[in-house]
A and B are shown apart, each in its own frame.
Chain A
Amino acid sequence: MKSRHKRLLLIFAGLAILGVAAALVFSAFQKNLVFFFTPSQILAGQAPQGHSFRIGGMVVKNSLMRQPDGVTVSFIVTDLAQNIRVNYRGILPDLFKEGKGVVAEGRLDSDKTFIADQVLAKHDENYMPPDAAYALKQGQAANLNKYVVKTVKP
Chain B
Amino acid sequence: MIPEIGNFSLMLALCLALIQGIVPIVGAARGNQRLMQLARPTAAGQFLFVSLAFGCLVYAFVTNDFSVAYVETNSNSTLPLHYRVAATWGGHEGSLLLWVEMLVLWMNAVALFSRQLPSAMVARVLGVMGLISVGFLSFLLFTSNPFARLLPAAINGHDLNPLLQDIGMIIHPPLLYMGYVGFSVAFSFALAALMGGQLDASWARWSRPWTLLAWMFLTLGIFVGSFWAYYELGWGGWWFWDAVENASFMPWLVGTALIHSLAVTEKRDSFKNWTVLLAIIVFSLSLLGTFLVRSGVLTSVHAFATDPRRGLFILVFLGIVIGGALMLYAWRAPQVGLGGRFSLFSRETMLLLNNVMLLAAAGTVFLGTLYPLFLDALNLGKISVGPPYFEAVFVPLMTPVLLLMAIGPFVRWKEASLKEVWLRLRWIALVAVLSGIGLALTLKFSMLMTVGITLAAWVLLATVFHVAQQLRNGAGKLLSLPRSFLGMVAAHIGIAIFVIGVTLVKGHEVVQDANMHLGDKATVGGMDFRFIDMKKIHGPNYEAAQGTFVVTRHSVEVAVMKPEKRLFTVQQMPMTEAAIDRGLTRDLYVSLGDQTSANSWVVRIQHKPFVSWIWGGCLLMALGGLLAASDRRYRLKKL
Which residues does A use to contact B, with CB under 8 Å?
Answer: 1, 3, 6, 9-10, 13-14, 17-18, 20-21, 24-25, 27-29, 31-36, 54, 66, 69-71, 89-92, 94-95, 105, 123-125, 127, 130-131, 133-134
Contact = CB atoms under 8 A, between A and B. Distances in A.
A35 B383 contact: yes
Given A10-B352, A66-B596, 14 more contacts: A6-B343, A9-B344, A17-B353, A25-B364, A25-B393, A29-B385, A33-B385, A34-B386, A70-B600, A71-B602, A91-B235, A91-B593, A91-B602, A124-B573
A25 B367 contact: yes
Nearest to A14: B356
B381 A35 contact: yes
A8 to B, nearest CB: 11
A24 B397 contact: yes
Nearest to A16: B356
Given A91-B594, A125-B571, A127-B299, A32 B360 contact: no
B339 interface: no
A24 B393 contact: yes
B513 A124 contact: no
A93 to B, nearest CB: 8
B234 to A, nearest CB: 7
Interface in B559-595: 571-576, 591, 593-594
Name which of A3, A25, A124, A127 has the most chain B CB atoms within 10 A of its CB: A25
B1 interface: no
A89 B513 contact: yes
Nearest to B387: A32
Nearest to A89: B513
Nearest to B572: A125
Interface string B333-355: 00000000101100001001100
B513 A130 contact: no
B63 interface: no
A104 to B, nearest CB: 12
B393 A123 contact: no
Contacts of B161: 123-124
A27 B389 CA distance: 9
Interface string B389-430: 100110011000000000000000000000000000000000
Contacts of A27: 392
A28 B344 contact: no
Interface string B142-171: 000000000000000000010100000000
B382 A134 contact: yes
B604 interface: yes
Contacts of A36: 381-384
8 contacts: A1-B344, A25-B393, A28-B388, A35-B383, A54-B382, A71-B513, A89-B513, A105-B386
A69 B515 contact: yes
Contacts of B514: 70-71
A31 B353 contact: no
Q: Tell me what chain B mostly uses at the interface: helix, strand, loop, or mixed.
A: mixed
Given A31-B388, A34-B384, A91-B513, A3 B349 contact: no
A144 B426 CA distance: 73
B300 A28 contact: no
B344 A10 contact: yes
B573 to A, nearest CB: 5
A27 B344 CA distance: 31
B357 interface: yes
B324 interface: no
Nearest to B517: A70
Interface in B595-630: 596, 600, 602, 604
A92 B352 CA distance: 47
Nearest to B515: A70
B438 interface: no
Contacts of A34: 383-386
A29 B513 CA distance: 31
B363 interface: yes
A134 B301 CA distance: 12
A21 B388 contact: no
B383 A33 contact: yes
B573 A125 contact: yes
B357 A92 contact: no
Nearest to A103: B384
Interface in B521-580: 571-576
A16 B356 CA distance: 10
Contacts of A66: 596
B229 to A, nearest CB: 11
Contacts of B235: 91
B384 A95 contact: no
A32 B382 contact: no
A38 to B, nearest CB: 9
A31 B392 CA distance: 10
A36 B384 CA distance: 8
B356 A17 contact: yes
A92 B594 contact: yes
A141 to B, nearest CB: 14
A21 B235 CA distance: 32
B571 A130 contact: no
Contact of A91 (B343, B361, B604): B604
B602 A13 contact: no
Interface string B299-323: 1100100000000000000000000
Contact of A32 (B299, B352, B386, B574): B386
Ranked 5 nearest A-B pairs via Cβ: A70-B515, A91-B593, A36-B382, A21-B360, A32-B389
A118 B597 CA distance: 24
Nearest to B566: A94
Contacts of B573: 94-95, 124-125
Nearest to A97: B574
A106 B364 CA distance: 25
A39 to B, nearest CB: 14
Nearest to A118: B386
Contact of A92 (B349, B363, B393, B593): B593
A27 B392 CA distance: 9
A24 B392 contact: yes
Contacts of B299: 127, 130
A131 B376 CA distance: 10
